[in-house]
Amino acid sequence: MAYKQADRRLKHPGDWAKSVQDFSWDVPERFNIAQACVSRHALATPNATALIHIHEDGAQEIWSYAQLEDASNRMANVFRTQGVQAGDRVAIILSQCPEALISHFAAYKLGAVALPLFALFGPDALEYRLADSGARVAVTSAETLEHLEAIDGELPELQAVFCVDETDFDVFDFQGELKAAARDFTPVETLADDPACLIYTSGTTGSPKGALHAHRFLIGHLPAVEMYYDFFPHDGDICWTPADWAWIGALMDLAMPALYFGLPLVSHRMRKFTPAGAYDLIRNTGANVMFLPPTALKMMRKDAVPEGLPIRVISSGGETLGADLISWAKDSFGADVNEMYGQTECNLVAGSIRSAGVTREGWIGTAVPGHELAILDKDGAPVTAGDTGEICVKTPDPVMMLRYWNKPEDTADKFRDGWLRTGDLGVMEDGWIRFASRSDDVISSAGYRIGPSEIEDCLSGHDDVIMAAVIGVPDEIRGQAVKAFVVLRDGAQWDGLERDLIDRVKAHVSPHVAPKMIERRDVLPMTATGKILRRALREE
């Protein structure tokens, strides 16, 4: 099965205007992420390094493209034995590790849909996403298995669970099944528009939404990746991000593009991000191209920077960086930090590239070649240059999602009159785009977009909590920190309850969304229709 590959088109680093003018999309009719990222390299350069996995004890495990191809073929056969067919969802509940990539590519080869989920998710968060997606199989670690066991019986469509570690639970042994499986596998032929990946994103009202992406969304990311990694790739590039691959910002801003271009990708589970650990990893692996969320950069600035780090270029996004942080990185690493903008539904559509002079302090940057952006009012009309409106992206666009999973009304609201409405407010002047604020209540903390409703539901589930509201408050390191307000039942004791509630969110939803602080209130501001006025809490 032959696939035409999308050619690189950003070939004028000395003339950005010419790059934009000459750009054209090359999206073939047939395209598959696994074939593009692994299979073709396994044929052309089988011994080239695909993955450098760093174990918790610091030992390195090297995977070639041929080995990754062989393992993903075997796992595709294993999944097929469990009944996985084209269109079925394969949940991947793992931190950075070889097994996560193997599972992704096995799913794509079957024409199935990869469903990346944070390993830190608690049982409530997992149950909703697994049930809503109708996942057929799940791949996870021993650490997360207890959360799945807690919701056993609530997921009738989940037919099989594979564990990558030794465990006493009655599940399939990933390593044993992989070793016993046949290595020959004929991939399903997929169209570029066929579903490939389902990534859940949080909103302010209702349940989390699953953004369903097609195989082409990898191609849609490439112009921005080439742009903010300084006309990527360069000879000798080795790529790493500390961010979890379950987040689109890690998976598609770096991990998959690195493999698409046949480069080595570093994987390592950092149980807790530390600057010293990051510097050691960079030094020991030679990683020189990286996606670092603003929180990681801010933490790294507080530690002494070792000399001689090989960093060539850094990308970052999710919140404003600030000129001081960008200058510090340039002085400390000798590397540019290029900013970008996107969201789970439509990622990497605007950004900067400092080496080409495409940068303006305080602004996101310009539209990436191939993407058309506009600032529109609530009725869909363009606002006057310099005025604030909603950032919108012209359809169709290869990086855009196909639709929200099981949410046709939300999909219709997202796509209106030929534009995807981001829900973010911004300003445009002479093609430059500046982020203003979010038109909803999503919290941007440490690069994560966190929806308050899931946290509020968890807090309100406590016997002593009548009502809860969650907002983002300014935080020097994270950009925003999660703060909760609770109204308690009569007779409830506050002493010790704040800690219990924070721990509850950590256990049932995820540690990364848990409130950093909780304030007790007698009442919460409400609208006439009974909705909590989070805006009023923020304004306080």
pLDDT tens for each residue of 316-344:
987 667 788 899 999 999 999 999 999 99
Q: What is the pLDDT of residues 257-268, one digit of tens each?
A: 999 999 999 999
* Banded model confidence at residue 21, pLDDT cuts 50, 70, 90: confident
Residue whose entry in the numeric block shows the structure tokens 């959360």 = 147
> Parallel, antiparallel, or unpaired for β 313-317 and 415-416?
unpaired
The confidence score (pLDDT) of residue 454 equals 83
Distance of CA 414 to the CA centre of its chain: 19
Burial of 412 from C-beta contacts in 10 A (0-12 / 13-18 / 19+): exposed
Residue 492 reports pLDDT greater than 70:
yes
* Banded model confidence at residue 364, pLDDT cuts 50, 70, 90: confident
CA distances, 234 to each of 33, 261, 312 (Å): 22, 10, 10
Instruction: Please answer whether residues 60 and 274 qualify as being in contact, where contact means their C-beta atoms are separated by less than 8 angstroms.
Output: no
* Banded model confidence at residue 244, pLDDT cuts 50, 70, 90: very high
Residue 529 reports pLDDT greater than 70:
no
The confidence score (pLDDT) of residue 356 equals 86
Return the structure tokens found at 31: 């395209």
Average pLDDT over residues 281-285: 97
Average pLDDT over residues 234-243: 96
Q: Which residue has the higher pLDDT, 15 or 135?
A: 135
Residue 438 reports pLDDT greater than 80:
no
* Banded model confidence at residue 205, pLDDT cuts 50, 70, 90: low
Residue count (the chain): 540
Q: What is the dihedral of CA 508, 513, 514, 516, to 10 degrees?
A: 180
> Parallel, antiparallel, or unpaired for β 479-488 and 465-475?
antiparallel
Average pLDDT over residues 378-387: 92
Provide the mean pLDDT of the chain: 91
Residue 38 reports pLDDT greater than 90:
yes
The confidence score (pLDDT) of residue 530 equals 56
The confidence score (pLDDT) of residue 1 equals 32
What are φ and ψ of residue 495, in 5° steps?
A: -60, 120
Give the type of residue at 268.
H
The DSSP code for 489 is P
Instruction: Please answer whether residues 68 and 105 qualify as being in contact, where contact means their C-beta atoms are separated by less than 8 angstroms.
Output: yes
The confidence score (pLDDT) of residue 243 equals 92
Average pLDDT over residues 121-139: 95
The confidence score (pLDDT) of residue 117 equals 96
List, in order of start, the domains of the chain with CATH numbers: 32-48+79-215 (3.40.50.12780), 443-539 (3.30.300.30)
The confidence score (pLDDT) of residue 540 equals 84
The confidence score (pLDDT) of residue 448 equals 82
Residue 6 reports pLDDT greater than 50:
no
Residue 425 reports pLDDT greater than 90:
no
Q: What angle do CA 453, 456, 460 make, to 5 degrees?
A: 140
| Helix or strand holding residue 48 (H, E) | none
CA distances, 417 to each of 240, 378, 379 (Å): 39, 12, 10
The confidence score (pLDDT) of residue 220 equals 96
Q: Report how far residue 89's alpha carbon sits from residue 107's, in angstroms, rounded to the nearest whole number.
A: 8
Average pLDDT over residues 339-365: 91
DSSP string, 185-244: --PPP-BTTSEEEEEEE--SSSS-EEEEEETTHHHHHHHHHHHHTTSS--TT--EE-SS-
Return the structure tokens found at 40: 């073709």
The confidence score (pLDDT) of residue 12 equals 64
Q: Which of 286, 294, 280, 351 is nearest to 326 (CA)?
A: 294
The confidence score (pLDDT) of residue 453 equals 76
Q: Which residue has the higher pLDDT, 201 or 195?
A: 195
Residue whose entry in the numeric block shows the structure tokens 């203003």 = 436
Instruction: Please answer whether residues 353 and 427 qualify as being in contact, where contact means their C-beta atoms are separated by less than 8 angstroms.
Output: no
Secondary-structure percent of the chain, ordered helix, strand, coil, rounded to 5: 30, 25, 40
Q: Report how far residue 225's alpha carbon sits from residue 26's, in angstroms, rounded to the nearest whole number.
A: 16
* Banded model confidence at residue 2, pLDDT cuts 50, 70, 90: very low
Instruction: Please answer whether residues 181 and 167 qualify as being in contact, where contact means their C-beta atoms are separated by less than 8 angstroms.
Output: no
Residue 3 reports pLDDT greater than 60:
no
Q: Which residue has the higher pLDDT, 10 or 524?
A: 524
Return all residues near 166 (Cβ < 8 A) that are at least 6 apart: 142
Q: What is the pLDDT of residues 81-123, one digit of tens each?
A: 999 999 999 999 999 999 999 999 999 999 999 999 999 899 9
Q: What percent of the chain has pLDDT over 70?
A: 94
Average pLDDT over residues 300-329: 88
Region class of 230: left (phi > 0), else alpha (psi between -120 and 50), else beta: left
What are φ and ψ of residue 359, in 5° steps?
A: -160, 145
